[in-house]
Structure formats: C-alpha cells, structure tokens
C-alpha cells in the first residue's frame, strides 16, 4: 500500500533538485499527496543548507543514509548522469519508488539492469522526462492524432544552449556524462519518438562535433521512417539558443504545429497549410512545469503501478538506444 502523502527523499542538491522541490512543495500545499521529507548530499553541510530554507525535516550527509531511512517512500535522483543507474538500483533494492533524472544512463546497456531491478523488486520506476506530461506537448499530439495537420511528414526540433566552457561543469566533463546530446539532445530525440508514434527511426544519420575530451558540443541528427516521415534534430551546449533553435515544428500535408521552447512549452500553435494561425493553445504552468511529473508518480503509486503508462520503461529504453546509435556506440 502506498502511503499518503508520499514521503520524498531528494538525492543531490543541484539546480534541478531546487526546481523539483519548488514543484513538490507546491503539490504538497495543493493536494497533500506528496511531502518533502528528506534530502541527501555528499556533504551534510550542503544537505542542511538545502533542507533548512525549504522546511525539509531530514538532511543526510550521504545518499546511502537516505536510502536506509524506512520512512522515505520515493526518491528523486538529481545527480549528474553517470550516477543515475547505480543510484536507482540502490534505491530500488532499498524498497523505494524511483523518479530518476534523464538520461537514466550514459549507454543503454547500463539501463537494462535498472529495469530488471524495478521488475524484481516490484517497485515503481520512471525517468523524469517531464516533457511527456507537458499540456502543450500533449495538445500538439492530440492535434496530430485528430488529423488537424493531415499526415505528419516532417519534424524539426532543436535545443541549443550557449554555455561558456567550464571544465568544472558536469556539461563539459566526460566522466559525468557531459555533452549536448545526453543533456539537451535527449529532448529533440524524445520529441521525435512521441510524434513518430513511439517508433525508432528506420534510418539514422548523425554528426557530432566533439572537443578534445570527447564531449560533444554540437550534434545534428537525421531520422527517416519507412512511413515517409523524416526528422531533422540538433542540439548544442555552446551555440546561440535563439528562438528558432529552441522550438519544435511539425509539418503535415495540410498544416503545421509550432511549439516555442518545446521542452518547457506553455503554448502550442496550429497553423494552416498557408501559414494562417488557426488556434493557439495556451497552458501556463501551475507552478514551474515539474508538477505534472510529480502528479504522474502520485497517480501511478496510488494505483500500485510499477511503471507509468505515459513514460514507460520501453519509451526510455528506446530513446537511450537511439542516443547510442547517434553516437555509434
């Protein structure tokens, strides 16, 4: 039986952990189905400094201590990518439900044992692919399914960040899984799988520009599906993130859909074949956008599910296998 509220343990104290806690506190106040119960850091001082202003009652100086706390129902793993799979397995074995940041591993082969463990332990596991629960993305998907743009022929999706090189940042550190593809390229790849109907491309070409350490700073991908659908995708961590390079465009035979800032979209636009705006769907976040994945975990756990029907284990594995293919590993 899942307890209410779900008592969350937060693993790591970085940027995304802050955002997640903001959404979790929002949901705790809104419905009481979740509660921020504990946070763990590699340093007790950091854990306490994170816990105190957020009113999180328990702070631990190691991730192990948080996993060992029987009062923690679910953990949110927010470390750099290289630790995701190992910590997920540890948490599942300790009897916790797991919401793990993307990507769950650096390579697909390290992902499979996570799913094997979730299955063996009978525990909930989900990759925190928050875009899957975004109302504007889901509106675009229903427009496509309703035939509002005719047969979908072309997907264009780019996610450019413009960061200054910093060897201390996880983004530029190969050991921590740095690079554009795993950090932001995962979003255009996920967008392609969503709109291609959860299918892998039948043909794939890619180009990655790597720095001396092997980290990719820029990449381009071309996907082709036997249905005739094609996709052009790219991502970068050191190139200008102007509007055009941060949107999703879906071109159908009779119309188009545009999602500005698609991975955190608060608006979807439906256009006719000649560019006339037919409909604008506006969906400002209730909090910061992470509340939707928290609601999904609450819903699944309340129903005793071990996997989300929206962000399935196979969905995550498919994207990871595509990311392997893009890097030819």
Ligand X SMILES: NC(=O)c1ccc[n+]([C@@H]2O[C@H](COP(=O)([O-])OP(=O)(O)OC[C@H]3O[C@@H](n4cnc5c(N)ncnc54)[C@H](OP(=O)(O)O)[C@@H]3O)[C@@H](O)[C@H]2O)c1
Q: Which residues belong to the active site?
A: 102
Residue nearest to ligand X (CB): 14
Contact 95, 68 (CB under 8 A): no
3-state DSSP assignment of residue 220: strand
Question: Which parts of 249-308 interact with ligand X (CB under 6 A)?
Answer: none
The size of the interface with ligand X (CB under 6 A), counted in residues, is 21
Burial label, 167 (beta-carbon count in 10 A; 0-12, 13-18, 19+): exposed
Of 16 and 283, which CB lies nearer to ligand X in the complex structure?
16
Question: Which parts of 178-207 interact with ligand X (CB under 6 A)?
Answer: 183
81 lines the binding site for ligand X (CB under 6 A): yes
145 lines the binding site for ligand X (CB under 6 A): no
320 lines the binding site for ligand X (CB under 6 A): no
46 lines the binding site for ligand X (CB under 6 A): yes
Strands (E), 41-185: 58-60, 74-77, 97-100, 125-127, 152-160
130 lines the binding site for ligand X (CB under 6 A): yes
Tell how far CA 294 is from the center of its chain: 12
Of 14 and 150, which CB lies nearer to ligand X in the complex structure?
14
Contact segment (CB under 6 A) with ligand X among 76-84, 246-254, 272-280, 299-307 equals 76-84
The candidate with the shortest Cα–Cα distance to 248, out of 155, 173, 169, is: 155
14 lines the binding site for ligand X (CB under 6 A): yes
Residues in the chain: 329
Of 15 and 284, which CB lies nearer to ligand X in the complex structure?
15
Of 271 and 293, which CB lies nearer to ligand X in the complex structure?
293
54 lines the binding site for ligand X (CB under 6 A): no
- 43-51, Cβ contacts within 8 angstroms, sequence gap of 24 or more: 46/13, 47/13, 49/13, 50/10, 50/13, 50/17, 50/18
Contact 185, 219 (CB under 8 A): yes
Look at strands 203-210 and 267-272 and give their pairing. unpaired
Whether the ω angle into residue 103 lies within 30 degrees of 0, i.e. cis, is yes
Q: Which of 7, 35, 38, 79 is close enough to bind ligand X by CB under 6 A?
A: 79
Of 170 and 199, which CB lies nearer to ligand X in the complex structure?
170
Q: Which residues of this protein are in contact with ligand X, per CB under 6 A?
A: 12-17, 41-42, 46, 78-81, 83, 101-102, 128, 130, 170, 176, 183
């Amino acid at each position: 039986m899942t307890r209410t509220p779900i008592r969350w343990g937060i693993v790591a104290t970085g940027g995304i952990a802050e955002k997640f806690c903001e959404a979790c506190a929002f949901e705790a106040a809104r419905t009481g189905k979740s509660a921020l119960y504990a946070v763990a850091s590699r340093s007790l001082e950091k854990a306490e400094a994170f816990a105190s202003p957020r009113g999180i009652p328990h702070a631990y100086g190691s991730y192990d201590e948080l996993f060992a706390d029987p009062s923690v129902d679910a953990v949110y793993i927010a470390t750099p990518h290289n630790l995701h799979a190992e910590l997920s397995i540890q948490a599942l074995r300790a009897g916790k439900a797991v919401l793990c940041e993307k990507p769950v591993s650096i390579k697909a082969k390290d992902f499979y044992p996570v799913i094997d463990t979730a299955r063996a332990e009978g525990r909930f596991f989900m990759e925190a692919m928050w875009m899957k629960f975004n109302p504007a993305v889901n509106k675009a998907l229903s427009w496509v399914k309703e035939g509002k743009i005719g047969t979908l022929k072309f997907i264009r999706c780019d996610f450019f960040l413009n960061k200054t090189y910093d060897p201390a940042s996880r983004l530029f550190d190969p050991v921590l899984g740095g690079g554009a593809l795993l950090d932001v390229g995962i979003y255009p790849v996920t967008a392609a799988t969503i709109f291609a109907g959860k299918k892998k491309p039948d043909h794939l070409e890619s180009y990655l520009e790597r720095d001396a350490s092997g980290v990719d700073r820029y990449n381009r991908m071309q996907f082709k599906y036997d249905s005739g659908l094609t996709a052009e995708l790219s991502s970068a961590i050191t190139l200008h993130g102007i509007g055009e390079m941060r949107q999703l465009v879906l071109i159908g035979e009779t119309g188009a859909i545009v999602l500005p800032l698609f991975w955190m979209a608060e608006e979807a636009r439906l256009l006719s074949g000649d560019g006339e705006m037919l409909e604008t769907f506006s969906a400002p976040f209730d909090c910061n956008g992470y509340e939707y994945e928290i609601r999904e975990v609450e819903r699944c756990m309340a129903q005793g599910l071990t996997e989300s029907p929206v962000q399935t284990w196979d969905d995550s594995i498919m994207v990871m296998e595509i990311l392997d293919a893009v890097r030819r590993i």
